[in-house]
Amino acid sequence: MTKQTPILEARGLGIAVGTGGGIFFAGRKLDIVMDVSLSLRPGKIVCVVGESGSGKTTLGMALVGLTPPTTGEIRFDGAPLQDFSKASFRPIRDKSALLFQDPASSFNPRQRIGDIIAEPRRISGEGATTSEAIASLAQLAGLPSSLLSRFPHALSGGQARRAAVARALSVVPRLIVADEPTAGLDVSVQGGVMNLFLDIREKHDTAFLIITHNLAVARHISDELVIMYLGRVVESGPTAEIFRNPQHPYTKALLDSEPVPDPRHRRNEPPVIGEVPSIFARPSGCEFHERCRFAQSLCRSEAPRETAGANGQRVRCHFPIGQAVGEPALAIA
């Protein structure tokens, strides 16, 4: 494996929003994403997994400059951005594609699907916009060309998702941030989208950040996994290692919760109980402690720092699974 310069790199990224306008929570700053570091390398696929509301979409948007980060550093092709202004993000925006989580809402309802898909090509001047070219693009994403003359409201959920995939890939970027690209797709179409990503990566050495709740997709497609909880990365590392040996209790809970496609193996109880805390009221210490089976008193008082665990995994836990229990893990400075 060659250690290429990452296309995009984030260090200690934090995103806070002012709960502005003074209507709801006047003047409070809300931390949505905290201390996130990750590298997106050419030809590598990183999957971000985590509970709903853990800041995945916010992170993805921030990486391509759609939500300004508050703290931290971003490097593009090795060079740090001077600041987080729109102008500084310009080079990243020009070279990346974002696939929105809710495709239908990102479409102009008065534009036909074919035009929606062709738009990035028209704007950039790259690639053909003839109806044959757009039809073959749609076909790559598994979208029948008979749907191209329709308006967005007349598509099923999965058809809209495929249209969004076709549009995002109409101009081949160096970086693709895809937010839930397979949600709402049947498993065959889902496989088609994954194959499409793999083809693009092979042909163009594109870097991918894929946000997904689907563990099977993450397992098949990604080289690295980033697990988020309440805005922080709680575990990251090579996908195969994390599936083989999850070290953070939340990761373990996630993997144990996945229902298996076999009605003879049902669970009587959910593996983890308890609500995900609100980011308006973050728990003290480790933010997972209210739901953690392994929590000890230290966990309630002190927030764990990220440590380097075995097999290239990084874990934010006082008592990582598979490491000596009872001894807090050594924090690396």
Ligand X SMILES: Nc1ncnc2c1ncn2[C@@H]1O[C@H](COP(=O)(O)OP(=O)(O)OP(=O)(O)O)[C@@H](O)[C@H]1O
Q: Please report, as ranges, the residues that interact with other proteins according to CB under 8 A.
A: 24, 49-54, 102, 142, 153-159, 161-162, 183-192, 194-195, 198, 213-217, 219-220, 240, 243, 250, 253-254, 257-267, 269-273, 275-278, 280, 291
Positions 73 through 102 that interact with Mg ion (CB under 5 A): 101
Minimum distance, C-beta of residue 214 to other proteins, in the bound complex (Å): 8
The answer to whether 323 and 254 are in contact (CB under 8 A) is no
Can residue 289 be called a binding residue for ligand SF4 (CB under 6 A)?
yes
List the interface residues with ligand X, window 204-243 (CB under 6 A): none
Q: Does 186 contact Mg ion by CB under 5 A?
A: no
Chain Cα centroid distance, residue 78:
22
Measured from the CB atom, is 20 or 157 closer to Mg ion? 157
Out of 286, 306, 309, 314, the only residue in the binding site for ligand SF4 (CB under 6 A) is 286
Among residues 213, 185, 208, which one has the least CA distance to residue 99?
Answer: 208
57 binds, among other proteins, Mg ion, ligand SF4, none (CB under 5 to 8 A by kind): Mg ion
Q: Between residue 96 and residue 135, which ones bind Mg ion under the rule CB under 5 A?
A: 101
Each residue 228-257 as x (binds Mg ion by CB under 5 A) or -, in order, gives: ------------------------------
Query: Which residues are within 8 A (CB) of 76 and not within 5 positions of it... i.e. 6 or more apart?
Result: 7, 8, 91, 92
Q: Are strands 175-179 and 207-211 parallel, antiparallel or unpaired?
A: parallel
CB of 294 to ligand SF4, least distance (A): 4
The least distance separating ligand SF4 from the CB of residue 328, rounded to whole angstroms, comes to 9
Nearest to 32 by CA among 11, 8, 9, 62: 62
What lies within 8 Å, CB to CB, of 18 at 6+ separation is 27, 28, 29, 30
Closer to ligand SF4 by Cβ: residue 186 or 302:
302
Size of the site for ligand X (CB under 6 A): 22
Contacted entry of Mg ion, ligand SF4, other proteins, none for residue 5, CB cut-off 5 to 8 Å set by kind? none
Q: Find, among 32, 82, 87, the residue nearest to 60 by Cα.
A: 32
Return the ∠ at Cα 247 (arms to 243 and 253), rounded to 5°.
70
Q: Which two tokens stand for residue 300?
A: 């309630």
Put residue 50 in one of left, alpha, beta given phi > 0 → left and psi -120 to 50 → alpha: left
How far CA 16 is from CA of 22, 62, 141, 196, 272, in Å, comes to 16, 11, 35, 34, 29
Of residues 286-315, those binding ligand X (CB under 6 A): none
When asked if residue 158 is in the footprint of ligand X (CB under 6 A), the reply is yes
Please state the closest distance from residue 320 (CB atom) to Mg ion, in A: 27
* Strand ranges in 151-299 using DSSP code E only, listed in sequence order: 175-179, 207-211, 224-229, 232-238
* Binder of residue 159, out of Mg ion, ligand X, ligand SF4, none (CB less than 5 to 8 A by kind): ligand X
**32 contacts 55 by C-beta, under 8 angstroms:** yes
Residues near Mg ion (CB under 5 A): 57, 101, 156-157
Residues near ligand X (CB under 6 A): 17, 19, 30, 32, 50, 52-58, 101, 153-159, 184, 279
